[in-house]
């Protein structure tokens, strides 16, 4: 079996859905499970519905109309009739959403969020199911909630892999083409849960691992994984192959490769992960697999802007040792600072952090009780994996370097 995942951009309009159909016909018309996200920016549009609903806002009807009209438009373009079964099914599913909004009495925001947000994935997979039938592909529509079981931690539910594997495994025998939703799951009480924003890749990995699939392919609007972000670097190169560990390393430093959570189930079962372009499906793309290293062996650049550099020194010239360092980390952890780089000498300790929750002033106030504190906001952190002299020169040119750290494989510099 193969698993294909199509994200929002790959089903954002009627043309994109047709393109998906062509890809499925050519590359996976049987023995394939297709995981699909909500169309385009539907999840954001449904978040607006959730917020209006939760706050009793005036804009609830308008927010719902955005979602409704967008899908109806795509259905009309694909099936050319208001009375097509795809339209009727959409109306029925949409009514179920309205029904929830009218009858729900649970005031837990995260609960309501999941009960509303998952309609994006239901709409998209229902439409795609009809479309694949229209182009003569026989497809079974599966409700992912019957297969992926989680705890009740709404919006970031934890998957029960044992139960999930038992439920998914029989699908391996069907030999059919199947379509299901990314991102959504259910708990023991039967309520819908979700796996966190952008969770559809993770869904594809779970199905791939539980089915012992021959491969998982993520179809995207880029040629594959690149060695640099085209917004900051000229002429990035395609990385054709890399190990799971390399992909996890790149993700750790902030590259938008796959989330480690997505890679882990695949790594455990040694299932190759392909990242390919739905605009150029014959392109080689990237494969993440067990073989060591990365190919081509080029430097990989990762930039994180708007970081904070905090430099501490002791008030009395005493050494900064284990005890102080553990206090510093406890504090950073408490204020949800994400630590990017650390460097210490006898009497100074530097740490570059991502101030995700705007807690810098609190952290600094606490640190000042024990240390002399200097900090610089709005610094950039450049990480280069597999650096060489040229890469170092490129990164260092025309910048004020505040901190530099090198290990065998990785160079990191903090600049202003
Ligand atoms: N539709 C969800 C989101 O936009 C899940 C996904 O696309 O992966 O976050
Ligand atoms: Mg999406």
pLDDT of residue 387: 96
Give distance in angstroms: CA of 401 to centre of ligand 1.
37
Residue 248 lies in a domain: no
pLDDT of residue 266: 96
**Cβ proximity of 337 and 375 under 8 Å:** no
Q: Are strands 338-344 and 401-406 parallel, antiparallel or unpaired?
A: unpaired
Ligand nearest to the CA of residue 203, numbered in listed order:
1
Domain co-membership, 170 together with 313: no
> Which of 161, 189, 220 is where one domain is finished?
220
Range of the domain at 145: 2-220
Domain co-membership, 49 together with 198: yes
Residue 349 lies in a domain: yes
pLDDT tens digits for range 15-39? 999 999 999 999 988 899 999 999 9
Residue with the nearest Cα to atom 2 of ligand 1? 198
Residue 250 lies in a domain: no
Residue 262 lies in a domain: no
Q: Determine whether the shortest distance from the Cβ of 197 to ligand 1 is under 6 A.
A: yes
> Which of 220, 244, 278 is where one domain is finished?
220
Ligand nearest to the CA of residue 47, numbered in listed order:
1
Cβ contacts of residue 284 below 8 Å, gap of 6+? Answer: 224, 238, 240
Which atom of ligand 1 is nearest the CA belonging to 8?
Answer: 7
Q: Determine whether the shortest distance from the Cβ of 40 to ligand 1 is under 6 A.
A: no
Which atom of ligand 1 is nearest the CA belonging to 203?
Answer: 8
Domain co-membership, 318 together with 207: no
Domain co-membership, 200 together with 325: no
> Which of 200, 220, 240 is where one domain is finished?
220
Domain co-membership, 206 together with 82: yes
pLDDT of residue 54: 96
**Token duo for residue 25:** 């016909």
pLDDT tens digits for range 73-131? 999 999 999 999 999 999 999 999 999 999 999 999 999 999 999 999 999 999 999 99
CATH code, domain with 137: 3.40.1160.10
Domain co-membership, 173 together with 38: yes
Domain co-membership, 181 together with 40: yes
pLDDT of residue 324: 86
Domain co-membership, 19 together with 114: yes
Residue with the nearest Cα to atom 6 of ligand 1? 198
CA–CA separation, 185 and 149 (whole Å): 6
Domain co-membership, 20 together with 134: yes
Domain co-membership, 49 together with 190: yes
Give distance in angstroms: CA of 38 to centre of ligand 2.
5
- Listed residue (1, 3, 2, 7) closest to 219, CA to CA: 7
Residue 258 lies in a domain: no
Tally of domains within the chain: 2
**Residue in 197, 202, 207 to alter for ligand 1 test, most ligand atoms within 8 A of Cβ:** 197
Give distance in angstroms: CA of 256 to centre of ligand 1.
15
CA–CA separation, 99 and 385 (whole Å): 52
Tell me whether the omega of the peptide bond preceding residue 296 falls within 30 degrees of 0, making it cis: yes
Residue 33 lies in a domain: yes
**Token duo for residue 372:** 């002399």
Domain co-membership, 135 together with 35: yes
**Cβ proximity of 62 and 147 under 8 Å:** no
Give distance in angstroms: CA of 45 to centre of ligand 1.
12
Residue 288 lies in a domain: no
Compute the CA torsion angle 130, 163, 205, 295 (nearest 10 deg).
-160
Domain co-membership, 9 together with 148: yes
The sign of the torsion formed by the CA atoms of 82, 86, 92, 93 equals negative
Residue 247 lies in a domain: no
Residue with the nearest Cα to atom 5 of ligand 1? 198
**Which of left, alpha, beta for 368 (phi over 0: left; psi -120 to 50: alpha)?**
alpha
**Cβ proximity of 137 and 25 under 8 Å:** yes
pLDDT < 70 positions in the chain? none
Which atom of ligand 1 is nearest the CA belonging to 202?
Answer: 8
Give distance in angstroms: CA of 97 to centre of ligand 1.
18
Asked whether the whole model's pTM tops 0.75, one would answer: yes
């Amino acid at each position: 079996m193969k698993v294909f995942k199509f994200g929002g951009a790959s089903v954002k309009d009627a043309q994109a859905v047709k393109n998906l159909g062509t890809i499925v016909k050519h590359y996976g018309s049987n023995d394939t499970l297709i995981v699909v996200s909500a169309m385009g920016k539907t999840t954001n549009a449904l978040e607006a519905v959730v917020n209006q609903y939760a706050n009793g806002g005036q804009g609830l009807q308008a927010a719902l109309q955005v979602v409704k009209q967008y899908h109806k438009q795509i259905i009309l373009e694909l099936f050319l009739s208001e009375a097509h079964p795809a339209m009727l099914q959409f109306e029925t599913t949409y009514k179920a959403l309205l029904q929830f909004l009218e009858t729900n009495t649970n005031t837990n925001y995260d609960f309501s969020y999941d009960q509303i947000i998952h309609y994006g994935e239901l709409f998209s997979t229902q439409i795609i199911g009809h479309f694949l039938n229209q182009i003569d592909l026989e497809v079974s529509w599966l409700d992912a909630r019957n297969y992926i079981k989680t705890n009740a931690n709404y919006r970031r539910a934890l998957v029960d892999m044992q139960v999930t594997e038992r439920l998914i495994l029989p699908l391996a025998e069907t030999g059919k083409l199947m379509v299901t939703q990314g991102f959504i799951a259910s708990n023991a009480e039967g309520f819908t849960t979700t796996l966190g924003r952008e969770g559809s890749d993770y869904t594809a990995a779970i199905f791939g691992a539980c089915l012992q699939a021959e491969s998982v392919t993520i179809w995207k609007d880029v040629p594959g994984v690149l060695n640099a972000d085209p917004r900051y670097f000229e002429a990035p190169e395609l990385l054709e192959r890399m190990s799971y560990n390399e992909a996890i390393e790149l993700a750790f430093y902030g590259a938008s490769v796959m989330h480690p959570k997505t890679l882990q189930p695949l790594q455990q079962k040694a299932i190759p992960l392909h990242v390919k372009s739905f605009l150029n499906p014959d392109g080689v793309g990237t494969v993440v697999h067990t073989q060591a290293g990365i190919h081509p062996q080029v430097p990989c650049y990762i930039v994180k802007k708007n970081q904070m550099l905090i430099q501490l020194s002791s008030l009395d010239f005493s050494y900064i040792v284990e005890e102080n360092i553990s206090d510093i980390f406890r504090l950073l952890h408490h204020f949800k600072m994400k630590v990017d780089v650390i460097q210490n000498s006898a009497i100074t300790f530097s740490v570059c952090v991502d101030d995700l929750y705007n807690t810098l002033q609190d952290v600094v106030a606490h640190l000042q009780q024990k240390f002399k504190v200097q900090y610089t906001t709005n610094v950039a952190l450049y990480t280069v994996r597999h650096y060489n002299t040229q890469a170092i020169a490129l990164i260092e040119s025309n910048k004020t370097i505040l901190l530099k750290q090198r290990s065998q494989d990785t160079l990191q510099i903090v600049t202003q």
